[in-house]
Homo-oligomer: A and B are copies of this chain.
């Protein structure tokens, strides 16, 4: 998962570990740890998906290899059915431009289905336990449902915009 994120970021240009971490934070990984990032870099280096070169000063610049690009493409498309994991979902969305356009909508729809199932289950458990849980737990569960519903609405936006953008596919955009 982190591997995919790192490879995706390095596709845009060489970077060192610290910078990589900050970019991950920008993407919404607020709590990503150096204890994850540096091991990931060594992992990817060992697999020869990235190359670490001594950059300016004490920094180590990492750049993606041809194998790395191929591997990135592979895990991006292959796991596009894995839609349960929120982090993995977000990483794939962040690198949507590298994903086959035909897969994109299917991917978003799958995610929507997962959320709908969760919402239904949560609503059920809210009804089932209504009089047994305290107001804090109740509020927690209700807020969970509301968040998931907001996510579904957002997915609907994304799907709609994806469909409209599809039509004028031949006119190349900047992104």
A residues lining the B interface (CB < 8 Å): 25-28, 30-31, 84-85, 90, 93-97, 118, 121-122, 125, 129, 133-137, 139-141, 143-144, 146-147, 150-151, 154, 157-158, 161, 175
Closest CB-CB distance, A101 to chain B, in whole Å? Answer: 12
Is there an interface contact between B141 and A27, defined as CB atoms closer than 8 Å? Answer: yes
A125-B26, A136-B96 as given contacts; A154 in contact with B143, CB under 8 Å? yes
Number of copies: 2
Closest CB-CB distance, A17 to chain B, in whole Å? Answer: 19
Is there an interface contact between A158 and B141, defined as CB atoms closer than 8 Å? Answer: no
Is there an interface contact between A140 and B94, defined as CB atoms closer than 8 Å? Answer: yes
Is there an interface contact between A26 and B129, defined as CB atoms closer than 8 Å? Answer: yes
Which residue of chain B has the shortest Cβ distance to A131 in the bound complex? B174
Cβ contact of A134, chosen from B27, B96, B118, B125, cutoff 8 A: B96
Closest CB-CB distance, A48 to chain B, in whole Å? Answer: 27
Name 8 A/B residue pairs within 8 A (Cβ), A-sorted. Answer: A31-B85, A93-B137, A97-B136, A134-B175, A136-B158, A139-B154, A146-B154, A147-B147
A147-B147, A175-B134 as given contacts; A140 in contact with B97, CB under 8 Å? no
Is there an interface contact between A30 and B118, defined as CB atoms closer than 8 Å? Answer: yes
Known: A28-B122, A93-B137. 8 other contacts (CB 8 A): A27-B137, A27-B140, A30-B84, A30-B118, A31-B85, A90-B140, A97-B134, A147-B147
Is there an interface contact between A94 and B136, defined as CB atoms closer than 8 Å? Answer: yes
Query: What is the CA–CA distance of A24 and B158 in the complex, to the nearest angstrom?
Result: 31
Which of A25, A31, A139 has the most CB atoms of chain B within a 10 A radius of its CB? A139
